[in-house]
Structure 1
Amino acid sequence: MAMVPEVAVPPVRGPAVGRHSSVVYSDDRAWARHLCAFVRDGLERDERIEYFADATDPERVLRTLADDGIDAAAAVTRGQLSVATAARTYLADTGFDPDAMVGLWHDAFEAASARGHRGLRAIGEMSWGTRDVAGADRLLEYELRVHHEVVDRLPVTAWCFYDRRLLPDAYVDVLAGAHLTHRGDPSARPALRVAPLVDRPGLVMAGSAGHDTRDVVAAAAAAVRSAPAHRVELDLSALRHLDAASLATLAGAATGRPDGVPLRVRQAPPHLRRLLELFPELGSAVEVVGR
């Protein structure tokens, strides 16, 4: 596969792998570089563009675009570009709700399509994730779901902006790891990385799942439980350790899936197989593949 420039945007109708990206940066110049590349490419493709600001004044977003030679004011006037705050959009009223957000993506794409745009793209500043915002603890669940539930299904490009000056490194590394494409400052490898599978509905878990990663496991379980696909897979082939509590959480997600189709678990650890032997009723919820 040919290498692309760091800030290049994949074709809107190309593989979904490159259209949901984490953008990690540590200074204003990097923020502006990614912003301008994203918006300029969207304008050239005649896509609807939305920017959801948190720590950045919306007027500053527009000024930065104008300083780079982009006629942002005209794009706003004709309805192709919108810059708003997260607090007034997807964080309004009840706070952050991944289910509602997935629905908003579909609604926003339909609205963009009705106006004649060829696709939809959005930037979201994620600095609100560690504040006392209702539903903020479900952000990782959302990042794990949006690939298969939105980007795989629609001509949508979404870049999630993570500013290291505003967020703890460990938090950024876990959230960035939930994306299949990474731009900007490289993230360290977290103790437990969870990401969508590239070629089929499901997740891959890599590293060690224990007491310190309970929140990550809970988010993975929630994403598995709510996945709309008929067949979902959990790939554990790169998982070095899975403690009993994490195992119970994942087993609960498997039994909680609404359609009754078993969760496919690839290369399940020995203690999961022992659990299936001790509790045969779990056999209808879990299918072990790839020994």
Structure 2
Amino acid sequence: MTYAELRRNPAADAFWAGLAARDHCLQIYDSDRLFLNALEGFVAGGIRQGDSIVLIATPAHLSALAARLSRNGFDVDAAVERGQYIALDAAQTLARFMVDGWPDEAMFNAVVDELLGRARRHHHKVRAFGEMVALMWADGLCDAAVQLEHFWTRLCVQEEFSLFCAYPKAAFGDAADAGIHQVCAAHSKLYTM
């Protein structure tokens, strides 16, 4: 049995299969289990379609995802070797373009352009996941996180790749409704499964 045949969730599979270049998708999650289910579906959907996967996430989430993929028959090391799976630490990547608590657009574009170049060496279509905005929000850099979302949206359209972002609902605190509305407005699709 191949990875493409494992861990099928028809509703989630249909959602991720319908994700188009230029889509900027959002999940607000209540638990890591739900988040990791979505992230695994996003990654598996891309692999099934032959896309490159760029992951910018916390080390804990990268490790949990790799373990899930490996348990379900996917060879992460082989995907890394063939350039289909690029995983980066979110905090370290964020540090490459933040200036005084604000994302510098030119520096951000340079970081993402380099990643897209790497991802497209062997696989033209790219799916990216970014957790940097959730880290920023958790650090109280809410306006800066929304600005970064807008930078991502512009690049998704310009460079024609799909992007998935996720925030833990708990990060929004007492002003959850206003914060969630602001973040939702910066995305083109909402993942709710």
Unaligned runs of at least 5 residues, structure 1: 186-291
Distance 1:37 1:71 in 2: 16
Q: Is the 8 A contact 1:22 1:182 kept in 2?
A: yes
Q: Which has the higher helix share?
A: 2
Q: Is the 8 A contact 1:47 1:119 kept in 2?
A: yes
1:172 and 2:180 aligned? yes
In the alignment, what sits opposite 2:58? 54
Which consecutive aligned stretches of 4+ in structure 1 deviate over 6 angstroms post-superposition?
none
Q: Which has the higher strand share?
A: 1
Which aligned pairs between 1:100-119 and structure 2 lie closer than 5 A?
Answer: 100-113=107-120, 115-119=121-125
1:65 and 2:69 aligned? yes
Distance 2:103 2:56 in 1: 16
1:68/1:164 CA distance change after superposition, 3 Å: farther
Q: Is the 8 A contact 1:53 1:86 kept in 2?
A: yes
Percent identical among aligned pairs is: 20
1:94/1:178 CA distance change after superposition, 3 Å: closer
Q: Is the 8 A contact 1:98 1:141 kept in 2?
A: no
Residue 89 of structure 1 aligns to a residue whose secondary structure is helix
Residue 90 of structure 1 aligns to a residue whose secondary structure is helix
Give the partner amino acid of 2:146: L
Alignment partner of 2:40 out of 1, 13, 36: 36
With normalisation by structure 1, the TM-score equals 0.52
Q: Is the 8 A contact 1:65 1:72 kept in 2?
A: yes
1:21 and 2:25 aligned? yes
Give the partner amino acid of 2:83: G
Distance 2:88 2:74 in 1: 18
Alignment partner of 1:82 out of 83, 86, 99: 86
In the alignment, what sits opposite 1:162? 167
Unaligned runs of at least 5 residues, structure 2: 1-9
Which aligned pairs between 1:141-290 and structure 2 lie closer than 5 A?
Answer: 141-147=147-153, 149-168=154-173, 169-170=176-177, 171-184=179-192
Q: Is the 8 A contact 2:25 2:165 kept in 1?
A: yes
Distance 2:126 2:51 in 1: 5
1:146/1:84 CA distance change after superposition, 3 Å: closer
Distance 1:140 1:73 in 2: 34
Alignment partner of 2:143 out of 128, 137, 141: 137
CA displacement at 1:130 relative to structure 2: 2.8
Return the structure number with greater relative CO, CA threshold 8 A, min gap 6: 2
1:57/1:112 CA distance change after superposition, 3 Å: closer
Residue 84 of structure 1 aligns to a residue whose secondary structure is strand
CA displacement at 1:127 relative to structure 2: 2.6
Distance 2:67 2:116 in 1: 26
Residue 162 of structure 1 aligns to a residue whose secondary structure is strand
